[in-house]
Amino acid sequence: WWENADGQGGTWTRHTIATDMYQPCSEWAADMDADLDIDIVAASTSARMLCWWQNADGRGVRWIEHFTGADIYTPWEVISADLDGDGNHEFPLGLEHSIRIYSAVGPSTNGWMDSSILSLGCDPSWDCISWTASVPFDASLGIQVRASDNPGDMGEWSSMLTEPGSLVGLLGDGYSYLQYRLVMTAGPSGLLPALHGISFAFDVLGTGEGGDPPRDFGMVERTTRSQGPSS
């Protein structure tokens, strides 16, 4: 894919997603795993296969390949859409003389999903985290967080948070990059948790020096339709 580096279409930067798919004939961009970034689906007529690539870092630099189907005769055109209203993407795939639909056979009962790395543009002093979610009686949803000054090395995850609360002591003050992880488990009923939104509050002035400056709070908020884990 080509990044519009200057935002005006004058300078472009090339990024490689994969090198092992022979002659891809159709590509599609969509948020396949509901983590608020864009993933890629591709079909190859020559290789007779269908794959999608997860945008693992949310920046289009690191990709994880997911194999969807092989020995598919003459795939020509692939798109993705939620055809049955279950919150998951299906792949309508155009073949030479027919249309075939690929869908997930069922969700995992437990797993985790990492957010993209968020740049705050300041040196924060952390305050609290809050979120809204629907959690069935026999399911669970937990959140871990981490912060760093180096997006290439975010460090260890915090202990598990099972309800909104303070971030003091969980994240180091002054770190300008933030990431969170959702850890979800379904119970015997098979009902899955759903995270609707998450926010982080912090003092954008940081800890400061020479006395206590007036507090100026910032907020990072994300709205998501994540339902069910991706292990």
> Taking the C-alpha atoms of 179, 185, 186 and 187 in order, what is their torsion angle to the nearest 10 degrees?
-150
Half-sphere exposure in the Cβ direction for 99 (13 Å, CA):
8
* Distance in angstroms between the alpha carbons of the first and the last residue of the chain: 26
- Please give the Cα distance from 218 to 202 (Å, whole number): 5
Give the per-residue pLDDT at 52.
Answer: 83
Residue 44 tokens, joined: 């190859």
Query: Is residue 217 scored above 70 in pLDDT?
Result: no
pTM, two decimals, is: 0.49
Query: Is residue 224 scored above 60 in pLDDT?
Result: no
Beta partners for 171?
Answer: 168
User: Using CB atoms within 10 A of its CB, is residue 164 exposed (0-12), middle (13-18) or buried (19+)?
Assistant: middle
Question: What average pLDDT score do residues 117-125 get?
Answer: 87
Query: Is residue 228 scored above 50 in pLDDT?
Result: no
Give the per-residue pLDDT at 210.
Answer: 40
Give the per-residue pLDDT at 161.
Answer: 95
pLDDT tens, 1-56? 889 989 898 999 998 888 877 777 788 888 887 778 888 888 887 667 778 888 88
Query: Is residue 185 scored above 60 in pLDDT?
Result: yes
- Please give the Cα distance from 178 to 119 (Å, whole number): 7
Answer whether 95's CB lies under 8 Å from 76's CB.
Answer: yes
Question: Where do the domains of the chain lie?
Answer: 2-103, 111-219
- Please give the Cα distance from 24 to 149 (Å, whole number): 38
